[in-house]
Amino acid sequence: MKAKLLIAGAALAFFSSCNMGNPLLKESSAPFGAPQFDKISDEHYLPAFEAAIAEGKAEIDAIVANQEEPTFENTIEAMEYAGQTLNTVAGIFYNLMEANTNDQMQAVAEQVSPMLTEYSMYVSLNEKLFERVKAVYEKRNELGLDQDQMTLLEDNYKGFVRGGANLSEEDKALYSKWSEELSLATLQFSKNVLAATNAYTLHVTDSADLAGLPEYVKTMGAETAKEKNLEGWAFTLAYPSFSPFMKYSENRELRRQMWTAYNSKAIGGEFDNTEIVRQIVDLRIKIANILGYETYADYALEERMAKNRTTVNEFVKQLLEPSMEFALKDVADVYAFAKKNGFEGSQLMPWDFSYWSERYQEAEYSLNEEQLKPYFQLESCIDAVFGLANRLYGITFHELDNVPVYHEDVKVYEVKDNDGSHLALFYADFFPRASKRGGAWMTEFRGQSIRNGVEYRPFISTVMNFTKPTADAPSLITHSEFTTFLHEFGHALHGILAQGRYPSLTGTSVSRDFVELPSQIMENWAYEPEYLNSFAKHYQTGEAIPAELIEKIVAAKNYLAGYGQVRQLHFGYLDMAWHSLKELPAEGTLEFEQKTLAPYAVMPAVEGTGFSTSFSHIFSGGYSAGYYSYKWAEVLEADAFSLFKEKGIFNQEVATSFRKNILEKGGAEDEAVIYRNFRGHDPQPEALMTKLGLTK
Ligand SMILES: [Zn+2]
């Protein structure tokens, strides 16, 4: 590290001298070279970022200044390893920002953010660097590259090209003009959604109009009213207010008002998004065209497992069409239940569905999580999750007490392979605290890689928010928390078992529509009696979980699965319709949406409503031409798990194949190919239909 720092010259020498003792920049002396959390303090971060960015730039400069002809090694491989110190520092910092943050770190994050943007532009807009990459790319077929090297080269080249590097000066100017307009339009879109959401209040003054609402919803309504200086109760379009109101309110007219307001957000009026949607779509078509793609979907999908819009459009239809009859039956069932229980309308309207499906579920499919909890004691769940990895892959977990941690609640395990060799460090951070955000996630402090013949095994972490045990009560988790645990642990296995070479291509560094396969497949075991019976025992009596409780868990999972699936596919279908356009449609935004979705309607259409104008995932978030990936991942895992169902949920042959073909591979090969290598065929939508019970 010191040798590298010297290249950067005077400015860097200053940093390196005051960074002499910075544990973020020094080789770790902890076991396995693990991060030295015991030595890192908040004041180390900023100087570490400054030094690491300077080092990364110096490494890029050295590649550009190289007098030798560009080769894979002196350009592509050198770029892969440029900025590795920055990756390490950022990896530690941003993980702790989520899991153990404080005011000082927040302040550092604000200072560092523009520095990182500047660094990434230093690389991505570097024309001389691109010239070298292009020179290597143009002779790629004569270089005798391995598969992962070819992927690395192509990823690098495409990264530049997709950012406009190959365009003429004139087109570059257009590209950046449109990109800027697009970012302003998407920003305006989300501002309007927020403003339109906040502009509406349902004001209730008669307590009779609160009929059906649970106490907590009433209290929330009273508090909201107070905040708005209103008498009585107030409900808003923010999800935590809107959703329970629609589920519980017995007042049909108020439900209609709420639903209509929610579904006409940013349509007309002061915060209108109808024209902005068209503007965004138009700019995306222009950008895709100038970069050489027919549609924006082609541009967006090129880097995904699905690859093109034909595949995705067919995929969505293959699920949507057979799901329609089940969705319509779900609606008919809820209607029949509602009729029996006093509903007088001639058909269910969209503002009735949430209310009546909730009553139906309570009556027929109620799953009491409290009843289940005594069977899911955290300690036995941890053993069961590790035990599942052991039964499938032969790996073992050994708790260590000599590896530094960033909080006393964190436990570290050494993961060993079935032959006893070292695989990874696994950090488990299970309990909530003020410095940790909510939710559950997997992350890594170091990914697996091999450099100069030396292999670096990964440091993987999962962060959860389970209830902490006390002196006289153990931690009991819900079945859905247990399922989440399995999900994150699946991501962790993807990191732990990685067997690749280049850091940007190992472990979970795969396409977005593939990354949830290793995690979602693990959730399946949470519904398998054979697995549950092996550990789910009452923590006081030791009694095994009753079979009827397991049956209830499965039934609750598939409740209204047809309706749910069609709802979800509406979003994916509409997203693809907007982004498969070659020019703007003649109709306005609402008309285009209605025309697109009409063949797949399961509820009566309501004039003047729609969701394009508030569809933030695709018009201001990162999911444009990507909403399908939620369902895509479900199909992948259902199809993959069906092989376990067929051969046995602990079958060694299937498990070994899943490990070798999927979990070890990272992103070095085309995901469609590695999937076929495991499953023997392309992902089949029927597998998901079967899993959800949507079969005749
Ligand atoms: Zn996930």
Q: What is the pLDDT of residues 467-498, one digit of tens each?
A: 888 888 889 999 999 999 999 999 999 999 99
Quote the pLDDT of residue 79. Answer: 98
Known catalytic residue: 551? no
Task: List CB-based neighbours of ion ligand 1 within 5 Å.
Answer: 519
Mean pLDDT of 128-152: 98
- Please tell me the total number of residues recorded for the chain in this structure: 696
Per-residue pLDDT for 9 more than 70?
Answer: no
The mean of the pLDDT values for the chain is: 94
Quote the pLDDT of residue 605. Answer: 92
Check if the beta carbon of residue 128 is closer than 8 Å to that of residue 64. Answer: yes
Q: What is the pLDDT of residues 270-300, one digit of tens each?
A: 999 999 999 999 999 999 999 999 999 999 9
Tally Cβ neighbours within 10 Å of residue 211: 11
| 215 CA → ligand 1 middle, Å | 34
Quote the pLDDT of residue 471. Answer: 83
H or E stretch at 258 = helix 252-262
- Residue 576: closest CA among 286, 300, 318, 324: 300
**CA–CA separation, 524 and 190 (whole Å):** 36
Percent of the chain with pLDDT over 90: 91
**CA–CA separation, 522 and 641 (whole Å):** 9
DSSP assignment of 201-245 equals EEEE--GGGGTT--HHHHHHHHHHHHHTT-SSEEEESSHHHHHHH
Name the pTM for this structure: 0.90
* Contacts made by residues 121-127, CB under 8 angstroms, sequence distance 24+: 122/57, 122/60, 123/60, 123/79, 123/82, 123/83, 124/159, 124/160, 124/163, 125/163, 126/60, 126/64, 127/165
| 439 CA → ligand 1 middle, Å | 11
User: Where does the pLDDT of residue 16 fall: very low under 50, low under 70, confident under 90, or very high at 90 and above?
Assistant: very low
User: Where does the pLDDT of residue 364 fall: very low under 50, low under 70, confident under 90, or very high at 90 and above?
Assistant: confident
The one catalytic residue among 444, 481, 488, 523: 488
Q: What is the pLDDT of residues 207-237, one digit of tens each?
A: 999 999 999 999 999 999 999 999 999 999 9
| 518 CA → ligand 1 middle, Å | 8
Quote the pLDDT of residue 469. Answer: 85
Per-residue pLDDT for 421 more than 60?
Answer: yes
Quote the pLDDT of residue 308. Answer: 95
Which region among 18-27, 326-335, 370-379 has the lowest average model confidence (pLDDT)? 18-27
User: Where does the pLDDT of residue 2 fall: very low under 50, low under 70, confident under 90, or very high at 90 and above?
Assistant: very low
| 196 CA → ligand 1 middle, Å | 31
Which amino acid, 502? Y
| 488 CA → ligand 1 middle, Å | 6
Quote the pLDDT of residue 685. Answer: 95
Mean pLDDT of 248-276: 97
Q: What is the pLDDT of residues 619-659, one digit of tens each?
A: 998 899 999 999 999 999 999 999 999 999 999 999 999 99
Cβ-Cβ contacts under 8 Å for 398 (sequence gap 6 or more): 413, 414, 415, 416
| 516 CA → ligand 1 middle, Å | 5
Mean pLDDT of 372-392: 96
| 634 CA → ligand 1 middle, Å | 11
β-pairing, 233-236 with 396-400?
unpaired
Which of the 8 DSSP states describes residue 346?
A: S
Per-residue pLDDT for 10 more than 60?
Answer: no
Per-residue pLDDT for 416 more than 60?
Answer: yes
| 442 CA → ligand 1 middle, Å | 8
Judged by DSSP in three states, 192 sits in helix
**CA–CA separation, 619 and 580 (whole Å):** 14
Quote the pLDDT of residue 686. Answer: 95
Per-residue pLDDT for 365 more than 90?
Answer: no
Quote the pLDDT of residue 517. Answer: 97
Tally Cβ neighbours within 10 Å of residue 18: 11
Per-residue pLDDT for 17 more than 80?
Answer: no
Quote the pLDDT of residue 18. Answer: 59
**CA–CA separation, 642 and 695 (whole Å):** 15
| Spatial strand order in the sheet of 411-416 | 396-400, 411-416, 422-429, 459-463, 441-446
Q: What is the pLDDT of residues 48-78, one digit of tens each?
A: 999 999 999 999 999 999 999 999 999 999 9
| 520 CA → ligand 1 middle, Å | 7
**CA–CA separation, 154 and 141 (whole Å):** 11
Q: What is the pLDDT of residues 74-130, one digit of tens each?
A: 999 999 999 999 999 999 999 999 999 999 999 999 999 999 999 999 999 999 999
β-pairing, 449-451 with 441-446?
unpaired
Quote the pLDDT of residue 14. Answer: 40
Per-residue pLDDT for 239 more than 90?
Answer: no
| 464 CA → ligand 1 middle, Å | 13
β-pairing, 459-463 with 422-429?
parallel
Which amino acid, 629? S
Per-residue pLDDT for 7 more than 50?
Answer: no
| 185 CA → ligand 1 middle, Å | 30
| 181 CA → ligand 1 middle, Å | 33
User: Where does the pLDDT of residue 41 fall: very low under 50, low under 70, confident under 90, or very high at 90 and above?
Assistant: very high
Q: What is the largest CA-CA distance in the chain?
A: 83
